């Protein structure tokens, strides 16, 4: 190392490493001090449930939804498009595309035979799909008080081994 007078010069890489470590430490400390810290690893399921709760919607896990399948008064609604619905879907589900909320939602619901007393379980493709939450919110506004969202969607249903029908 070079010596100037009695002072040792520290290598540039060491100074940069110290600055980087201080910056990282301060970032962690500031994140922990926030009221809503930024997650280190994103938990999409928790974010989806929190979003549904903010909208005033009830959520259900695929395991619990599986126990509701086939019970009287329970209707599974697929919020995906007709083309997606033609592929795989929850056995016995009815298709009410999310786009129906922009038209006459009451007429679309009546054409499927939905009654306001029915327990509606709305789902779409997966955690990243917001169609089910948007449709559920519109259904609740339209006078269907018993609307539940399955945020994990068809992917979660398939994971728990729920009965499926339709194409591959």
Between the CA atoms of 130, 133, 139 and 140, what dihedral angle is there, to the nearest 10 degrees?
Answer: -160
What pLDDT, on a 0 to 100 scale, did the predictor assign at position 150? 94
Q: Which residues of the chain have pLDDT under 50?
A: none
What pLDDT, on a 0 to 100 scale, did the predictor assign at position 90? 95
What pLDDT, on a 0 to 100 scale, did the predictor assign at position 88? 93
Between the CA atoms of 154, 155, 158 and 162, what dihedral angle is there, to the nearest 10 degrees?
Answer: -40
Per-residue tokens: 69: 């399948």
Convert the pLDDT of each residue in 92-127 to its tens digit.
999 999 998 888 888 999 999 999 999 999 999 998
DSSP E strands, the chain: 3-4, 7-8, 58-59, 74-78, 89-90, 94-95, 119-123, 147-149, 164-165
């Amino acid at each position: 190392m070079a010596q100037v007078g009695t002072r040792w010069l520290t290598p540039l890489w060491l100074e940069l490493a110290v600055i980087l470590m201080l910056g990282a430490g301060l970032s962690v400390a500031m994140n922990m001090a926030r009221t809503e810290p930024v997650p280190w690893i994103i938990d999409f399921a928790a974010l989806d449930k929190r979003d549904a709760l903010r909208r005033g919607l009830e959520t259900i896990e695929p395991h619990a939804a599986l126990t509701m399948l086939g019970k009287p008064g329970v209707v599974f609604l697929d919020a995906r498009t007709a083309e997606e619905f033609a592929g795989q879907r929850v056995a016995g589900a009815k298709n009410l595309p999310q786009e129906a909320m922009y038209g006459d939602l009451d007429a679309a619901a009546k054409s499927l035979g939905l009654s306001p007393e029915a327990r509606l379980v709305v789902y779409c493709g997966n955690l990243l799909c917001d169609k089910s939450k948007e449709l559920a919110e519109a259904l609740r506004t339209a006078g269907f008080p018993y609307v539940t969202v399955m945020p994990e969607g068809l992917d979660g249903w398939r994971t728990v081994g729920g009965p499926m029908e339709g194409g591959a």
